[in-house]
Amino acid sequence: MIKAIFFDFEGVITNNPMILHKDLYKKIENEISFEEFDKRYSLARIGKIKYAEFMKGFEKYEPYIFSLIKFRKGAKKTLNYFQSKKVPMILASNHIDGLAEMEVEKLGIGKYFNKMFFSHRMGLKKPEESFFLEMLKECGIILKKNEMLFIDDAKRNLIVAKKLGFVTIYLPNGIEGDTRNKVEFKADYEINNITEMIPIFEKLNK
């Protein structure tokens, strides 16, 4: 029986898994090298620098970033379903401060989640096992095999989840160059629309 569901954020709840690396960088690639951009992101993702420092020199693009924040097709319906079933939902995301808060506020998703874990607050990131263990500890959950669902658009992040006993769901994001998916891994389920989680949950909870 599934007792809690863990969701990745960008690319699962939102329709865009790479707002910064794909969309923003296209706008600023003549102003900063990708290596420097990625270095800033890597530091911001684990809370070593703040959003303002990450965006330094590119503040004028904030409205553009904001315009890209949208629900992935079927995400709101899926969240409403699990909320109606009173299933505990936890958000687990590699993210930077500022943008994480911007997305949560614009989409109004705070009401759905019992807890939200962001790498910039934890100083840990997926796919590190310590990220998962710290998250479970803070939730007060003793993980029993096949009692938790974990959905992500990055196979790399699901490897540890499966090892720890989560039922894993892979939701492809359609980006061919996403290196996080260039790994040999088979999730328990692979779906093309997030609403397909619902019959999986119902089947597992029969």
Q: What is the mean pLDDT of residues 149-172?
A: 95
- pTM for this structure? 0.94
Query: What are the boundaries of each domain within the chain?
Result: 4-15+70-204, 19-68
- CATH of the domain spanning 4-15+70-204, picked from 1.20.58.100, 2.60.120.560, 3.90.550.10, 3.40.50.1000: 3.40.50.1000
**Which tokens hold the place of 70?**
């949208």
Cβ-contact 99, 51 below 8 angstroms: yes
pLDDT of amino acid 179: 79
- List pLDDT tens digits, range 168-190: 999 998 777 777 878 889 999 99
- List pLDDT tens digits, range 190-204: 999 999 999 999 999
* Coil/strand/helix, residue 77: helix
Burial readout 141-166 (b: 16 or more C-beta within 10 A, e: otherwise): bebeeebbbbbbbbbbbbbbbeebeb
Across-strand partners of 7? 91, 151
Q: What is the mean pLDDT of residues 38-45?
A: 96
pLDDT of amino acid 206: 87
Q: Which of 28-32, 62-66, 170-174 has the lowest mean pLDDT?
A: 170-174
Q: What is the mean pLDDT of residues 105-134?
A: 96
Averaged confidence pLDDT in the chain:
94
Q: What is the mean pLDDT of residues 134-154?
A: 91
